[in-house]
Amino acid sequence: MVSKNKYEKLEKIVRILITEKLDEQKIKYSKIESRIKSKKSLEEKIARKNIKSPEEYLKHIDDFLGVRIVTLFMSDLEVVGNMIKKLFTVHEIEDKIEDDPLKFGYFSIHYVVSIEEEKSKILKDISKMKFEIQVRTITMDSWANISRYLNYKNEESIPTSLQKSFNAISALFYLSDKTFEDIYDSMNASKNSTMKLKKEDLLDSKLNYDTYIAYMMKYYKLRYVGDLEFKPLDSEFEYDLATSFSVIVSDLINAGYNTVRDLNDLLLKYMDQFLEEEEKTHGIGFFTSVGMVRGILNIVGAHVSFL
């Protein structure tokens, strides 16, 4: 009835297609998971749905292969959903988030899809095989993983004494997603407004992650990410870069440089000495902005953290 080899092939190809498209569109995500139903699980579903013929099987079993994409933010759900609609033929969509987000249950959007035959002759043998893609956020995934061990699969099965607690915690998971989204939007708004500041306003600003980046982008752009400036940012590099910026800002503030003007005056005062040392040891332009600031903090004898 089911060719496991075909589904294993489908699983590999689908994961490649999804990963490549997410990376191509620079969509950040937490993880991609997939599984092929076990024989026991499949038999239980066939019995539960009273399936007796291959035709009925094909009609009712569309999650023999299941793929899960876990996103960072709620706004990513729509972006990933649009990607799925362009990448596959969509047969059915079930939104388990908008039904009633403040009631008990796990949150996820399910897409029943198949690969379009036109995409490649190589995929012809698996082009019409349906499978399911679930899309949810990290928070939704956490709730799903925790609730799996609480035994109650629906609201009706929960003892009355526990229903309020279950609904409350379910709502908190949902609201935390909303709050993370608000923080993310505010963070981006802060970065954008900081980048638009005029010189004097920027110099008079308190030194923080956003003002450090805005200052370096305006006045030391070639050192912003050094030789890697024009290379695509992969997630690991971007994370390390963000960590480096946070650490150097912390070092500056701990050394008494609390405003962007303080940073500017420090760099102007010791830049010639730093450039002389840089040229002697590595050549002009070797260090990124973080390396440059770290080098100047070393010159003045300030404490410097190393990752």
Q: How is the chain split into domains, by residue range?
A: 4-162, 197-299
Q: What is the pLDDT of residue 158?
A: 67
Tokens encoding 217: 């982008």
> Which tens digits make up the pLDDT trace of 225-236?
543 433 334 444
Q: List the beta bridge partners of residue 34.
A: 67
Measure the CA–CA gap between 31 and 126, rounded to whole angstroms. Answer: 24
Q: What is the pLDDT of residue 231?
A: 38
Q: What is the pLDDT of residue 126?
A: 76
Q: What is the pLDDT of residue 234?
A: 46
Q: What is the pLDDT of residue 174?
A: 81
Homologous superfamily of domain range 4-162: Beta Polymerase, domain 2 (3.30.460.10)
Q: What is the pLDDT of residue 12?
A: 93
Measure the CA–CA gap between 109 and 117, rounded to whole angstroms. Answer: 25
Q: What is the pLDDT of residue 107?
A: 76
> Given strand 131-137, what is the order of strands in its sheet?
29-36, 65-71, 131-137, 109-114, 89-95
Q: Give pLDDT < 70 ranges for the chain.
A: 1-2, 41-61, 98-106, 117-123, 148-158, 224-239, 306-307
Measure the CA–CA gap between 174 and 139, rounded to whole angstroms. Answer: 8
DSSP for 28-57, please give it.
Answer: -EEEEEEEE--HHHHHHHHHHTT--SHHHH
Q: What is the pLDDT of residue 228?
A: 40
- CB-side neighbour CA atoms (13 Å) of 70: 13
